[in-house]
Amino acid sequence: MAVSKDQEMLRLHGRRVLIAAGGGIAVYKTVELARLLLKRGAEVRVMMTDAATRFVHPTTFAAITGRPVGLQMFHDDGSPEVGHLELPHWADLVLVAPATADLIAKAACGIADDLVTTGLLAARCPVLFAPAMNPSMWEHPATRTNLQTLRTRGAHVVGPETGEMAHPDELPGAGRMSEPSAIVEEVLRLLISSGDLAGRRVLITAGRTEEPIDSVRMLSNRSSGRMGVALAEEALKRGAEVVLVHGPMDVNPPAGVETVRVRSANDMLAAVQDRIDRMDVAIYAAAVSDYRPKQALKGKMKRENTPEPVLELVANPDIAAETASHCPGITVGFALEAGGDLAPARVKRARKGLDAILFNQVDAIGADTNRLTWISDRESEGETSPSASKRELAGWVLDRVVNFLRASP
Ligand code: C5P
């Protein structure tokens, strides 16, 4: 599946990057770095050391990101400007750029004497350092040892590069901060390419279908599309290339996925058939109308002509049943059932030829939270999720999909 330029551009959609800017002249390049990350769809927040604000005014970062910049731990009136743990706990990745010799040393020692160093100590997500300093500081054994300490603890490092220094009197040497585009590539690698669905092609059906009665009326259902969209977002975060084949929904599809908008079950079937043979994973989360009017009338059916119309219905194709066997990868469906009996869902899984089916109760449709039971004849059989938001459930489902992929030949 080809990922379009736009989708590629938006691969960081929804990912939260916290930039920790140290006080080096290279911070002028961090402005461009923030802009590039935003262009890739990332959410970006910035915190700055006091020294960093001597080189670039916080207003520049605030204007570019549209968010307040974290500067100080304490305020005279006692109010926190940005809570000192709020930013590191918000982030999916902390990017220290420029990482000065001082910031690297403090991080290696676990010093937390301002907002930035406290944030680095509190961060539980990956931390990427982009060192920038003059060659004599870069080559100093203290800096080398400090960086090695950070690496041993799991920190990532990009650069520095060898080349001209910002100051015209300084000799060229190692210590130049990597170019913003190279740093963005490293962010992509850490956040996307290392995901457990990296390089996997995932097709998700979502939303409801609409079956025309005439040109203005239709048969449909109350599905919101939230579960399918949550799955698409989660798969994207884990590095997958995602195709979302969707009918009408109450939510927008996430940026960064290939979307195929359809209306009827027949259109959805055709869109899935066109793509299924290239997929590593297919998840059928759409609420497909079981029936459609035998004939869709052109124009509007008139009340005067048909005071008591009888709607003749025919069965729609079962998209999962018709396409699952053409998927070279893992196929997963949903079984929305009344009552707690799992038996009908087991029968459904076998009849549709799916690897797994997620049992859920009827009241889940359109609801914000849900509970799922994973039914299969192999991995994770019988496991039930906690009652959780659709976003959390998407993670739970994809954890099991990943286990399935790992266990597959
Ligand atoms: O048979 P039932 O509608 O309960 O099956 C639900 C599962 O089958 C869901 O995964 C749904 O997306 C899929 N399905 C389908 N095409 C249909 C009906 C259901 O793909 N016509």
- What pLDDT is stored for residue 181 in this prediction? 95
| Local structure of 84: helix, strand or coil | coil
Q: Does the fold of domain 201-294+310-407 match that of domain 5-193?
A: yes
> Ligand 1, from 210, 266, 288: best to mutate by most atoms within 8 Å of Cβ?
288
| Distance (Å) of CA 48 to CA 140, 157, 160, 254 | 25, 19, 20, 31
Which of left, alpha, beta for 382 (phi over 0: left; psi -120 to 50: alpha)? Answer: left
CATH class of 5-193: alpha beta
Closest CA to 23 of 59, 57, 62, 50: 50
> Is the model's pLDDT at 260 over the cut of 90?
yes
* CA–centroid distance, residue 335 to ligand 1 (Å): 7
> Is the model's pLDDT at 231 over the cut of 50?
yes
Q: Give the residue, by CA position, lying nearest to ligand 1 atom 17.
A: 318
* Residues catalogued as catalytic: 221
Percent of the chain with pLDDT over 70: 94
> Is the model's pLDDT at 120 over the cut of 90?
yes
Backbone angles phi, psi at 187, to 5 degrees: -60, -45
Of ligand 1's listed atoms, the one at least distance from the Cα of 333 is 10
What are the domain boundaries of the chain? 5-193, 201-294+310-407
Tell me: the pLDDT tens digits for 179-228?
A: 999 999 999 989 987 789 999 999 999 999 999 999 999 999 999 999 99
- What pLDDT is stored for residue 295 in this prediction? 93
* CA–centroid distance, residue 313 to ligand 1 (Å): 18
Asked if 275 and 208 count as a contact pair (C-beta separation under 8 A), the reply is: no
- 170 pLDDT band, cuts 50/70/90, is confident
Closest CA to 184 of 369, 15, 309, 71: 15
- What pLDDT is stored for residue 234 in this prediction? 93
Strand pairing partners for 331?
A: 282
Percent of the chain with pLDDT over 90: 74
Q: Which of 80-84, 87-91, 132-136, 391-395 has the lowest mean pLDDT?
A: 80-84
Of ligand 1's listed atoms, the one at least distance from the Cα of 285 is 12
Residues lining ligand 1, Cβ inside 6 A: 205, 265, 284-286, 288, 316, 318-320, 333-336, 348
- What pLDDT is stored for residue 215 in this prediction? 94
Q: Which of the four CATH numbers 3.40.50.10300, 3.30.460.90, 1.10.10.10, 3.40.50.10330 does domain 201-294+310-407 have? A: 3.40.50.10300
Burial class (CB in 10 A: 0-12, 13-18, 19+), 178: buried
> Is the model's pLDDT at 3 over the cut of 60?
no
> Is the model's pLDDT at 81 over the cut of 60?
no
Average confidence (pLDDT) over 230-253: 94
Tell me: the pLDDT tens digits for 22-75?
A: 999 999 999 999 999 999 999 999 999 999 999 999 999 999 999 999 998 876
* CA–centroid distance, residue 254 to ligand 1 (Å): 23
Asked if 120 and 96 count as a contact pair (C-beta separation under 8 A), the reply is: yes
- What pLDDT is stored for residue 367 in this prediction? 67
Tell me: the pLDDT tens digits for 303-322?
A: 888 888 899 999 999 999 99
> Ligand 1, from 223, 292, 352, 372: best to mutate by most atoms within 8 Å of Cβ?
352
> Ligand 1, from 273, 281, 291, 318: best to mutate by most atoms within 8 Å of Cβ?
318
* CA–centroid distance, residue 272 to ligand 1 (Å): 13
Of ligand 1's listed atoms, the one at least distance from the Cα of 283 is 10
- What pLDDT is stored for residue 53 in this prediction? 97
- 5 pLDDT band, cuts 50/70/90, is low
> Is the model's pLDDT at 106 over the cut of 80?
yes
pTM above 0.85, yes or no: no
* CA–centroid distance, residue 332 to ligand 1 (Å): 10
- 274 pLDDT band, cuts 50/70/90, is very high
> Is the model's pLDDT at 2 over the cut of 50?
no
Task: Compute how many other C-beta atoms are within 10 angstroms of the C-beta atom of residue 409.
Answer: 2
Of ligand 1's listed atoms, the one at least distance from the Cα of 334 is 10
* CA–centroid distance, residue 300 to ligand 1 (Å): 30
Tell me: the pLDDT tens digits for 315-367?
A: 999 999 999 999 999 999 999 888 888 999 999 999 999 999 999 987 766 66
- What pLDDT is stored for residue 82 in this prediction? 59
- 1 pLDDT band, cuts 50/70/90, is very low
Average confidence (pLDDT) over 261-273: 98
Q: Give the residue, by CA position, lying nearest to ligand 1 atom 13.
A: 320
